[in-house]
Amino acid sequence: KQEVTQIPAALSVPEGENLVLNCSFTDSAIYNLQWFRQDPGKGLTSLLLIQSSQREQTSGRLNASLDKSSGRSTLYIAASQPGDSATYLCAVIRLDDYKLSFGAGTTVTVRA
């Protein structure tokens, strides 16, 4: 059974600092990995999807890396802003049935 862990559970940083969010998973057999953002009381919004054959994806200030050999993914957010305050979830996606296994998330607070 796939276990997905996100450490730390919560993070508070001053505005402008770079954010580093970690995601680890136990089974690295052919999977894609996706990062989501969740605002309080809201649903999930997809941020980045890394294909199994890729090592990273970038979108604006966001960069996500994937190291299947070590079972890790890292989400980098450059020059954080108060609007980045949210919970960030990673999910590992099985390629046979596209089921997602989620981590519990990291709640980020960016202080102005």
Partner 1 sequence: NAGVTQTPKFQVLKTGQSMTLQCAQDMNHNSMYWYRQDPGMGLRLIYYSASEGTTDKGEVPNGYNVSRLNKREFSLRLESAAPSQTSVYFCASSVPGRETQYFGPGTRLLVL
Q: Is the CB of 14 or the CB of 97 nearer to partner 1? A: 97
Q: Is the dihedral of CA 22, 34, 9, 37 positive or negative?
A: positive
We find the least distance from the C-beta atom of residue 60 to partner 1, in angstroms, to be 18
We find the least distance from the C-beta atom of residue 75 to partner 1, in angstroms, to be 15
Q: Is the CB of 80 or the CB of 91 nearer to partner 1? A: 91
Q: Is the CB of 9 or the CB of 20 nearer to partner 1? A: 9
CB-based contact 6:90 (threshold 8 Å): yes
| Residues near partner 1, by CB under 8 A | 4, 9, 32, 34, 41-46, 49, 89, 91, 93, 97-105
We find the least distance from the C-beta atom of residue 77 to partner 1, in angstroms, to be 20
CA distance linking residue 7 with residue 68, whole number of Å: 17
Q: Is the CB of 83 or the CB of 97 nearer to partner 1? A: 97
Rounded to 5 degrees, φ, ψ at 91 are -140, 135
